Amino acid sequence: MSPLLRAEGLCKTYGGFHALKDVSFEVMAGETLAIIGPNGAGKTTLFKMLTGEVVRTSGQIFLRDADITRVSAEMRTRMGLGRTFQIVRVFPEFSLMENLIVAIEARQRARGRRNGILNVRPSQAVADEAHHRLAMMGIARLHGTEARHISLGDRKRLELAMTLAMEPSVLMLDEPTAGMSPSERIAIIDLIQRTKEEQRLTILFTEHDMDFVFQLAQHLMVMNQGERIFFGPPEAVKTNAVVQEIYLGKDLAHA
Given the rule CB under 6 A, which residues bind ligand ATP? 14, 17, 19, 37, 39-45
Smallest separation, CB 42 to ligand ATP (Å):
4
- Nearest approach in angstroms of CB 200 to ligand ATP is 28
3 state DSSP class of 151 = coil
- For ligand ATP, give the closer residue by CB, 14 or 199: 14
- Cβ nearer to ligand ATP, comparing 14 with 141: 14
Closer residue to ligand ATP (CB): 100 or 252: 252
- In the chain, % helix, strand, coil (3-state, to 5) comes to 40, 25, 35
The pair phi, psi for residue 83, each rounded to 5°, is -130, 135
Transcribe 64-122 into DSSP letters. Answer: TTEE-TTS-HHHHHHHTEEETTSSS---TTSBHHHHHHHHHHHHHHHTTS--SS--SS-
CB nearer to ligand ATP: give 79 or 255: 255
Nearer to ligand ATP, 44 or 119 (CB): 44
Nearest approach, Cβ of residue 17 and ligand ATP (Å): 6
CB of 41 to ligand ATP, least distance (A): 4
Task: Map residue 246 onto helix, strand or coil.
Answer: helix
Query: Measured from the CB of residue 37, what is the shortest distance to ligand ATP in angstroms?
Result: 5
Rounded alpha-carbon distances, angstroms, from residue 249 to 215, 219, 229, 233, 244: 21, 21, 16, 19, 5
